[in-house]
């Protein structure tokens, strides 16, 4: 029961876009040819077709970075929750049926107002500028989070005791897992202004679910570059659209007084209540090779992202 991510915000390399740093730069002092040759790098074969960028200042083509991402949002159910557990448990913990808890099982349905989702990811991203306007990347890492099912209620049976058990079991479901994915960024710039369109696909394998969670993310951004003292940086605004293919099957454990731990299996489909939210962010080039970026999301989905990228 978790929207991932994410994700995600990991494809862009703001501040490393191919762009002129100044619309009317002063003519640089000529440098000796030997010094220019000494500055060549093994990765200079990328990006391909450099000529389409004209005299723009291209970024170093390869990058590796770390990203920490935290996100909170509400999810809505697509249909009802299917629950399977001991028949006596689902019938409201009738004392006369305690002995049957390890025997027959039943499947019932439940509903809920929403699922409050909080997720944190730690990721590694590797990327390459294949063309002056096209960056491709891959991501992998780990995820932790928790889901809170709000106002869960049994549809059949309607036992208050059974409903209390379900609310207790799903009141705070914690999980962890692995995440991986890939994406691409289209970029354009003119003078100090630029725009990007970032598309990513991720899969998450969670400890509480036997199914993979798939997320498709589209993030347009527009921004400007500038100088901050001795550093170059960028500022941008944008939006994020998340399309989540999220059907989870798994189980949780409810601790019942006098009965110990009891397992409840579930099958549920859900999606984000709102697919779009706003983004605002900034970045700073700490050196030619090192870039620090921070981005926040606002609206029905709130998020904070920080990344540190090394280019070569």
pLDDT at residue number 17? 56
The Cβ-side half-sphere exposure at 9, using a 13 Å CA radius, reads 33
DSSP letter, residue 19: B
Helix (H) or strand (E) holding 303: strand 301-311
Q: Which CATH class is domain 42-311?
A: mainly beta
Measured at the CA of 173, the angle between CA 168 and CA 176, to 5 degrees, comes to 160
pLDDT at residue number 250? 85
Helices (H) and strands (E) in the chain, counts: 3, 14
Give 239-288 pLDDT, tens digit per residue. 999 998 788 888 888 777 666 777 888 899 889 889 999 999 999 999 98
Domain spans, the chain:
42-311
pLDDT at residue number 32? 43
Closest CA relative to residue 19, chosen from 188, 136, 226:
188
Euclidean distance between CA atoms 110 and 84, whole angstroms: 11
If you search the block for the tokens 């100088």, which residue do you land on?
A: 227
Q: What is the DSSP string of 82-148?
A: EEEEEHHHHTT--GGGGGGTTS-EEEEEEE-SEEEEEEEEEEEEEEEEEETTEEEEEEEEEEEEEEE
Euclidean distance between CA atoms 15 and 282, whole angstroms: 9
- Tokens representing 50? 């450099």
Which residues of the chain carry a pLDDT beneath 50?
A: 1-13, 15, 18-38
pLDDT at residue number 128? 98
Q: Are the CB atoms for 135 and 185 separated by under 8 Å? A: yes
The structure's pTM equals 0.82
Euclidean distance between CA atoms 48 and 4, whole angstroms: 33
- 3 state DSSP class of 208: coil
Euclidean distance between CA atoms 178 and 312, whole angstroms: 27
Closest CA relative to residue 9, chosen from 267, 202, 249:
202
């Amino acid at each position: 029961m978790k929207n991932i991510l994410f994700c995600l915000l990991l494809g862009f390399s703001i501040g490393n876009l191919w762009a002129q740093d100044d619309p009317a730069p002063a003519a640089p002092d000529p440098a000796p040819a030997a010094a220019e040759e000494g500055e060549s790098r093994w990765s200079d074969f990328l990006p391909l077709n450099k000529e389409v960028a004209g005299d723009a200042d291209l970024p170093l083509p390869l990058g590796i970075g770390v990203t920490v991402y935290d996100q909170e949002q509400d999810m809505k159910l697509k249909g009802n929750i299917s629950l399977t557990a001991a028949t006596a448990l689902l019938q409201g913990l009738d004392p006369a049926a305690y002995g049957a808890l390890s025997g027959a099982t039943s499947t019932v349905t439940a509903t809920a107002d929403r699922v409050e989702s909080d997720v944190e990811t730690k990721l590694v991203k590797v990327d390459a500028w294949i063309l002056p306007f096209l960056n491709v990347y891959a991501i992998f890492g780990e995820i932790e989070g928790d889901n809170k099912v709000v106002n869960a209620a049994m549809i059949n049976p309607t036992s208050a005791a059974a409903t209390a058990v379900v609310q207790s079991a799903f009141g705070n479901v914690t999980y962890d897992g692995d995440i991986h994915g890939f994406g691409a960024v289209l970029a354009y710039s003119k003078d100090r202004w630029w725009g990007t369109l970032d598309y990513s696909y991720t899969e998450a394998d969670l400890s509480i679910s036997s199914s993979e969670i798939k997320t498709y993310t589209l993030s347009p951004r527009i921004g400007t570059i500038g100088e901050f003292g001795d550093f170059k940086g960028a500022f941008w605004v944008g939006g994020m659209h998340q399309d989540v293919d999220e059907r989870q099957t798994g189980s949780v454990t409810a601790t019942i007084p006098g009965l110990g731990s009891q397992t409840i299996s579930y099958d549920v489909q859900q999606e984000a209540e709102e697919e779009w939210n706003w983004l605002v962010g900034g970045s700073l080039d700490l050196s030619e090779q090192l870039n620090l970026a921070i981005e926040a999301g606002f609206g029905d989905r709130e998020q904070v992202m920080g990344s540190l990228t090394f280019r070569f």
